[in-house]
């Protein structure tokens, strides 16, 4: 049903809704609350506790008192009472309340009791006159807001959508609903928005979480099934991997070798490889990729590796040229800034190149490969499932290897990457000195800069990472441009570079190359340096507004330093004193283990702040929390298995379920 059929939704609001993927009334109903207010439970004033959000019913005892406490800040306070006591009710800068409330009127107030006041005080409550209540007595959904949409507006269209939209058709098989005690879809949708009770909400949520994970699981398992049916010619010579190991300037770690053996055993099979290599930053995934490519080339195939950024593609190009220096293997680089593309395309088509390194350009229309046998996607979290498929489709039944540095707990990996086999590189090359991490406040800035200067004097280099590129009027995030100017002023004896995502690829490359050559001492950047780039001489990483980053992302960033012989430091400038921020920073300071960090990250993310599935190239989860919903996830996986096992060619069936599964990977998931 057209979203514009809801009252108050015209072109402008429809556009806004579209931003969150809401195009129809049905989509809207799948946009879930982030929280609820319980306006069904009322307390007497005397029983209200500091800090709690609660409903009271009271009569207005005094008129509104207006107090200007400073410029742009006026308090509006009145006293209300019930049979048990009195309390103050306060709003900030809301002069219209003066016109609303009259002494003697009866109202419901819902709001938070000031935790910092010794007197009873309710802050900025919502209110309804007694006898005319609409929300009082109910559990009220609170939605995420964006643009200039208001809570009231979304609540209103949601309730209208529920009335107007015809019923959803049930598509979960009855057997599964019985087995896992799931409520039906319409009951779930109604009660996730406007629950009749908390029990009804729990049941609704349970069903919707199950549904979401079940579809994801079924889709992944179907994909695996389909892939398993493809046959290809095995590689005849996998022994040559030993020749490659001799080319390396170092001995592979045990974990690197194990990953190589996994790949070799895949190569020997008559079905295409679909393997994920998970390894912490700096664990040496590139060498493993090179080994796989070497073997593919020695078996007469071309091999391609796709990196998420030009910088990274360029760096791989250099590493591979180094690895293969003493061989006759021909390597080329193909990115969107490559000149004379046509000629290069022709050479690739003629198999004049064995190894093709590039970015998204590798999957563009014009590229044809002579004999593509192996495709590698590096730092996979930037690529969607769909893009991977597009690259694989450039060859016949190609082997696919995906490498990611975003570690997730193994149990979860097995479930999330249901369509892939997994190898884990859980060992770092010897001789690495762990990065020392400190979380500091502004008061430490001077000392940090002195420390930085000392290191610069000794010839070391430094990264400064900022969360945003330009200042927006709404927040005061330190932005890269501003920090760059400031660092230039302070460190005027040194070269301070700036790199950010809005630069042209060539500009970025140039800056990065100069930094790698040591011509730039301090590199201020946004997160474009997040993945892969290797500059062993940099030993300090300063992260501004560290509280704005996810822990896994901070860990990735930190992995940029500590690749050389010197002790490396990661300095997190964190603002805000909230407990979660403190806890998050503490985790960063006490652990260098990416798996541990990501597990803790998962635990600390509340509902609504769902685990970054997008980062993993999977569709964004709307309601499930992969940590706290682990039990439902396991059930969903079990159910998906039964369905896939008993329903050959589920995808070819024209059921609602099959359609949902097909749609899942349709949306393009790339974030880059
Ligand atoms: P990542 O897994 O983050 O992609 P890289 O492949 O970039 O890590 O490797 C990081 C650095 O470690 C590179 O400079 C690489 O040459 C080096 N390296 C990789 N494996 C080994 C090893 N077994 N022994 C010593 N150095 C290694
Ligand atoms: Mg890498």
Determine the Cα–Cα distance for residues 629 and 621; give it in Å rounded to an integer: 12
Looking at all shown ligands, the one closest to residue 532's CA atom is 2
pLDDT tens-digit map of 582-597: 899 999 999 998 888 8
3-state class (DSSP) for residue 542: strand
Residue 99: CA count within 13 A, CB half-sphere:
3
Determine the Cα–Cα distance for residues 61 and 48; give it in Å rounded to an integer: 18
Determine the Cα–Cα distance for residues 41 and 39; give it in Å rounded to an integer: 6
Average pLDDT of the chain to the nearest whole number: 86
Ligand 1 pocket (Cβ < 6 Å) reads 250-253, 256, 279, 281-287, 405, 429, 532, 534, 563
- Are the C-beta atoms of 275 and 400 separated by less than 8 Å? yes
Distance 289 CA to ligand 2 centre (A): 10
CB under 5 Å of ion ligand 2: residues: 532
Distance 300 CA to ligand 1 centre (A): 27
Per-residue pLDDT, 524: 93
If you take atom 15 of ligand 1, which residue's CA is the nearest one? 284
Distance 533 CA to ligand 1 centre (A): 11
State which ligand 1 atom lies nearest to the alpha carbon of 287.
Answer: 6
Determine the Cα–Cα distance for residues 322 and 290; give it in Å rounded to an integer: 11
Looking at all shown ligands, the one closest to residue 558's CA atom is 1
Looking at all shown ligands, the one closest to residue 285's CA atom is 1
- Kindly give the parts of the chain with pLDDT less than 70: 380-389, 391-392, 407-411, 468-478, 528-533, 605-620, 648-654, 665-672
Per-residue pLDDT, 662: 75
Distance 237 CA to ligand 1 centre (A): 26
Per-residue pLDDT, 562: 84
Determine the Cα–Cα distance for residues 376 and 31; give it in Å rounded to an integer: 35
- Give how far Cα 116 sits from Cα of 52, 55, 110, 122, Å: 12, 19, 18, 11
If you take atom 16 of ligand 1, which residue's CA is the nearest one? 284
- Are the C-beta atoms of 347 and 353 separated by less than 8 Å? yes
- Are the C-beta atoms of 527 and 467 separated by less than 8 Å? yes
3-state class (DSSP) for residue 616: helix
- Give how far Cα 480 sits from Cα of 470, 498, 513, 527, Å: 7, 7, 19, 10
pTM for the model stands at 0.71
Per-residue pLDDT, 286: 93
Determine the Cα–Cα distance for residues 195 and 207; give it in Å rounded to an integer: 14
């Amino acid at each position: 049903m057209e979203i514009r059929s809801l009252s108050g939704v015209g072109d402008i609001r429809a556009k806004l809704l579209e931003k969150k993927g809401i195009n129809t009334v049905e989509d809207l109903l799948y946009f879930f609350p982030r929280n609820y207010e319980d306006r069904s439970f009322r307390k007497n004033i005397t029983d209200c506790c500091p800090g709690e959000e609660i409903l009271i019913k009271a009569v207005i005892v005094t008129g509104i008192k207006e107090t200007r406490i400073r410029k742009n800040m006026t308090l509006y306070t009145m006293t209300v009472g019930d049979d048990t006591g009195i309390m103050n009710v306060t709003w900030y800068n809301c002069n219209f309340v003066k016109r609303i409330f009259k002494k003697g009127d009866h109202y419901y107030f819902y709001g938070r009791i000031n935790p910092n006041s010794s007197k009873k005080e309710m802050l900025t409550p919502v209110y309804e006159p007694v006898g005319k209540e609409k929300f009082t007595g109910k559990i009220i959904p609170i939605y995420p807001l964006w643009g200039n949409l208001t809570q009231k507006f979304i609540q209103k269209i949601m309730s209208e959508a529920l009335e107007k939209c015809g019923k959803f058709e049930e598509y979960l098989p009855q057997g599964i609903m019985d087995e896992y005690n799931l409520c039906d879809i319409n009951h779930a949708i109604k009660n996730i928005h406007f629950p009749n009770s908390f029990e009804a909400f729990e049941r609704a949520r349970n069903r919707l979480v199950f549904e979401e994970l079940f579809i994801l699981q079924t889709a992944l398992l179907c994909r695996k099934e389909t892939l398993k049916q493809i046959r290809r010619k095995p590689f005849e010579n996998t022994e040559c991997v030993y020749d490659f190991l001799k080319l390396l300037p170092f001995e592979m770690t045990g974990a690197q070798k194990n990953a190589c053996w996994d790949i070799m055993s895949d190569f020997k099979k008559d079905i295409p490889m679909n393997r994920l290599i998970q390894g912490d930053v700096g664990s040496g995934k590139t060498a493993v990729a090179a080994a796989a490519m070497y073997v593919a080339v020695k078996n007469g195939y071309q091999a391609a590796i796709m990196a998420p950024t030009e910088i990274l593609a360029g760096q791989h190009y250099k590493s591979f040229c180094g690895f293969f220096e003493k061989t006759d293997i021909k390597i080329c680089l193909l990115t969107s800034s490559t000149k004379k593309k046509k000629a290069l395309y022709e050479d690739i088509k003629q198999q004049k190149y064995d190894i093709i390194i590039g970015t998204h350009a590798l999957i563009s229309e014009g590229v044809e490969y002579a004999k593509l046998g192996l495709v590698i996607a590096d730092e996979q979290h930037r690529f969607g499932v769909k893009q991977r498929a597009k690259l694989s489709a450039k060859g016949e039944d190609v082997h696919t290897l995906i490498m990611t540095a975003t570690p997730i707990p193994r149990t979860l990996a097995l479930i999330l990457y249901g369509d892939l086999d997994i190898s884990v590189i859980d060992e770092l090359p010897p001789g690495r000195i762990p990065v020392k991490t400190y979380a500091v406040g502004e008061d430490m800035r001077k000392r940090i800069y002195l420390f930085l200067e000392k290191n610069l004097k000794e010839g070391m280099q430094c990264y400064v990472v900022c969360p945003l590129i330009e200042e927006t009027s709404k927040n005061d995030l330190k932005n890269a441009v501003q920090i760059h100017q400031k660092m230039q002023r302070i460190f005027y004896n040194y070269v301070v570079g700036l790199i950010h995502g809005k630069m042209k690829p060539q500009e970025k490359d140039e800056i990065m190359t100069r930094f790698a050559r040591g011509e730039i001492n301090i590199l201020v950047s946004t997160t474009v340096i997040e993945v892969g780039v290797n500059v062993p001489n940099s030993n300090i990483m300063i992260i501004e507004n560290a509280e704005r980053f996810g822990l896994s992302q901070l860990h990735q960033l930190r992995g940029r330093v500590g690749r050389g012989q010197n002790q490396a430091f990661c300095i997190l400038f964190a603002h805000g004193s909230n407990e979660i921020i403190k806890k998050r920073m503490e985790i960063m300071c006490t652990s260098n283990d990416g798996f541990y960090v990501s597990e803790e990250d998962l635990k600390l993310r509340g509902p609504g702040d769902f685990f970054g599935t997008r980062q993993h190239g999977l569709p964004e989860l709307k309601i499930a929390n992969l940590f706290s919903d682990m039990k439902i996830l396991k059930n969903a996986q079990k159910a998906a298995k039964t369905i896939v096992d008993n329903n050959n060619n589920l995808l070819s069936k024209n059921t609602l379920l099959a359609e949902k599964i097909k749609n899942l990977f349709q949306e393009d998931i790339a974030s880059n």
